[in-house]
Amino acid sequence: MGGSVTAEITPAAQAFIRQHIKAVWQLELLLYLKKCEKALTIVEVSRALQLEPRAVEDCLRDFAEQNILHLDHEYRYKYLPKATLSKAIEETAKSYNERRISVINFIYAQPIGNLPEV
C-alpha cells in the first residue's frame, strides 16, 4: 500500500480500522448508528442499510463486545463507545467523510487473514 493513502488517514483512524473494521459496510453500519439518536434493533439496522440480518447481527454483537456499542435488555444497540475509542472513531468518521476512497482502499488493503469469514 502506498504511503499517500496512509498519509491521508490519521494513525488513530488507521489503528481503529485495522482492529475493528474488516469491510466498508461495517464502517457504514457503525457510522449510521453513530448518527442515530436512539437504540435500534438488528431488524431496524438491517432494513435501514439493506443488509443481511445475520451479518448485521454478527457485526453488532462484535461491536458491543469491543465496547463500541451498548446492547440494552431489549436487544437494541446504541452507539456508546468507551472513551479510549471515541477519538479514533471520530477521526475515522472524519477521514471517511473527507477521503472516502482513501479509507476504502485502506480497508481493502488489509492482509487477507484479517478479512471476515464467509
CATH number (domain holding residue 32): 1.10.10.10
Neighbours of 58 (CB within 10 A): 15
pTM, entire model: 0.87
Coil vs helix vs strand at 40: strand
- Residue 93 resides in a domain: yes
Q: Which domain holds residue 71?
A: 3-110
**36 domain-assigned:** yes
For the chain, give the percent of residues with pLDDT over 70. Answer: 88
pLDDT of 85 over the 60 cut = yes
pLDDT, tens digit (0-9, with 9 covering 90-100), for 27-74: 999 999 999 989 999 999 999 999 999 999 999 999 999 999 999 999
C-alpha cell at 87: 477519538
Least confident of 3-7, 32-36, 110-114: 3-7
**Residue 117 covered by a domain:** no
Q: Are 91 and 13 contacting, i.e. CB atoms less than 8 angstroms apart?
A: yes
| Per-residue CA distances from 25 to 72, 74, 82 (Å) | 23, 25, 22
How far is residue 49's CA from residue 103's CA, in Å, rounded to a whole number? 19
* Beta-carbon-side half-sphere exposure of residue 112 (alpha carbons within 13 Å): 0
The number of distinct structural domains making up the chain is: 1
The answer to whether residue 4 scores a pLDDT higher than 90 is no
